[in-house]
Amino acid sequence: MSKKFSLEDIENDATIKRFLIIKTGLRPRTQESYIYEILHFCNYTNKSPTEIFEIHRTDLRERKAEFDQWLNDAFDNFVAHLIDSGYAYDSITLKISRVKGFLHAFKLKPTPVPTISKRRVLEDSKYALTVEDIRWAIKNVPLTYQTLFITQAQTGLSVSDALLLDVEDFIDAVSKRKENLTLEQALERVETSKGLIGCFDLRRKKTSVEFYTFAGPEVLKHMALLLRSRDAQYLKLDIPIFLKASFKTQNEWEDLRLTAAAVITFVTKLHNPKGKNVFPKIMVDGKKRNHFRTHKLRKWYSNRVHHDAGLSLEDTKYLMGQKTGDVVEYYINPNNYLSLLKKYKKALPFLSINEEIVIEENKELIEELKKENKMLKEQYEKDSRAKDEEIKNLKAKMNAEMEILKEENRLTRELVTELSKIAKKNR
């Protein structure tokens, strides 16, 4: 008879408890994702997490080839079952990655890599977001969502990561090293500075991802406007930047933060024919989908930064929180940090929503290029003058040597003539 594990069974499994201790620091939502996906796999295979752990550990100890491992067949059958059940490629990939992540936490590597059908119906490129789409969205939404959309467009943050930002993150983003600004000082700096670029350091957040990303002046100015619109009680350091629309009626501080689900609901309403109908629905694989979606803001950012501004794929992924792990040490090196900041400045014109601010932001870069160009020109002229002087001196030296040779030639001819006269007399 097949086993039927409950959620409680999985949570009480001894190996799962050890796994959660190892993974201390995971967001609650990520923990839930692991538990649910492992539950699905356990119910399909009729094995508990501990049994799966023991089987794979034994296979590795016995040095079984991948094709002989129990997990290899289990993954292949599970993937086939999921495809038959109508699961999409991304959903299947997530489920497999959670099981692999569970085993990898105990260093039970390698794990088999199942083949997953990559037949995915991609959205037609004609539906890609344009800067006009973003401007139109901003024009038709409240200040909170204006700021959120601009933040995603100029930082590449996912909606979940953007919603994690607190007031303290805003202050830190515009503070110089070892500077201890108050919120008022941070707001004044943003409001009075031209071309200020902030840095959101998300390495200290309780996530499995460690990265930082830059924020252009449009992001910072909109955040300043948003914070200025609030009463003092909603400006404490641990208060979220993005609050629920009903935050003034909330009693518990932890309930104030705007959620990703609420954002999705709001964006869906922008496509409601009975509402504002800001955007039309689009057809993808015979199904209606929202044209404007927060994830497409990340794609817009990625395309602008990588394809238009020319940043490497590795730099782009790091700024979006997709390329982490071993590369963190590389990017937190001060020299590499400054290099990445300079590249981000170069990318800002391509990320512009309000062009005037972004053009202002790049004056520093333009002036730097002008200065460098002037230095190169001066160096060229200096080198050219030195070359001309060298050629002039060389010509003078050659002329002097020619005169000496001429004189020596004249004296030689005279000597030959004199010797000829003496020889004639002696005859």
Per-domain residue ranges for the chain? 7-104, 125-361, 372-427
**Most distant pair of Cα atoms in the chain: their distance:** 141
Question: pLDDT at position 417, please?
Answer: 81
- Ranges of residues in the chain with a pLDDT under 50 are 1-2, 204-207, 324-328, 356-362
CA 237 from centroid of its chain's CA atoms: 25
Identify the three-state secondary structure at position 116. Answer: coil
Q: What angle do CA 252, 253, 255 make, to 5 degrees?
A: 70
Q: Cis check for the bond before 349: say yes or no (omega within 30 of 0).
A: no
Question: What CATH code would you report for 125-361?
Answer: 1.10.443.10
Entry pTM: 0.57
Question: pLDDT at position 358, please?
Answer: 40
- Could you report the per-residue pLDDT of 2-32, keeping only the tens digit for each? 467 888 999 999 999 999 999 888 888 888 8
Identify the three-state secondary structure at position 349. Answer: helix
* CA neighbours closer than 13 Å in the CB half-sphere of residue 349: 12
Question: pLDDT at position 247, please?
Answer: 67
Contact 206, 25 (CB under 8 A): yes
Gap between the Cα atoms of 92 and 88, Å rounded: 6
